[in-house]
Amino acid sequence: MKLDIEKISERDGVIVKVETENLDASNVKEFREKMQAHLDGHGLVMLDMKNINFVDSSGLGALLSALRVMNNKEGQLKLYGMNKPVRALFELVRMHRIFSIYNSREEAFAAL
């Protein structure tokens, strides 16, 4: 799994583009390991989810863990670019009320 990293110049933050179609039990451990450094090192992490077509409960758990890390240090985790199936799953498990979710990168930036 590849994570494309783009620094956000005007803030202590990064945009992380997840280059995988599935975020599930098969790759969630790798996702956690790769994300940890960026979560620890920045106050703002924006996750670009455009490429992700499928998330299972392991994937949801990994995203929740990431959110907890950021909340504990009063940072921000923002998700954007979710496709409809992934969005439907988030709404089913009520995680759309827990995460900050935006349709696009511009919307996510506008909300800062």
Partner 1 sequence: MNKKMPTMECGKVAILFTEWSQDSVDNPNLGVSNDLLPICGKHMLQRVIEKIVDSGFLTIHVLLTNSSGEVRDFLGSGERWGCSIQYHQNHPQSLLREKLKTLTLADDDHYLVANSHTLPILKKSFYEPGNNHQGKVAVHGNEKAIAWTGWGIFRGDWLMAQQTVAQLHENAMDESSPKARCLTHEPYTVITLADLVNTSRRILNESNANNEGNYIHISRGSKLHDSVQLVAPVFIGRHVKVSANTIIGPNVVIGDGAYIDKGAHLTNSIVMPDTYIGEILELKQVVVRGKSLANIQLNTVIEVSDSHLLSVVSDVLAQGPWEYRFTYLFDLIGNVFRFGKQKYGTDKTLKSAEVVWD
Footprint of partner 1 (CB under 8 A): 24, 56-57, 84-85, 87-89, 91-94
CB of 43 to partner 1, least distance (A): 31
| Residue closer to partner 1, measured from CB, 74 or 94 | 94
CB of 93 to partner 1, least distance (A): 6
Q: What is the rounded distance in angstroms from the CA atom of residue 78 to the CA atom of residue 111?
A: 10
| Residue closer to partner 1, measured from CB, 41 or 85 | 85
CB of 63 to partner 1, least distance (A): 15
- Closest to 112 (Cα-Cα) out of 88, 78, 82, 83: 78
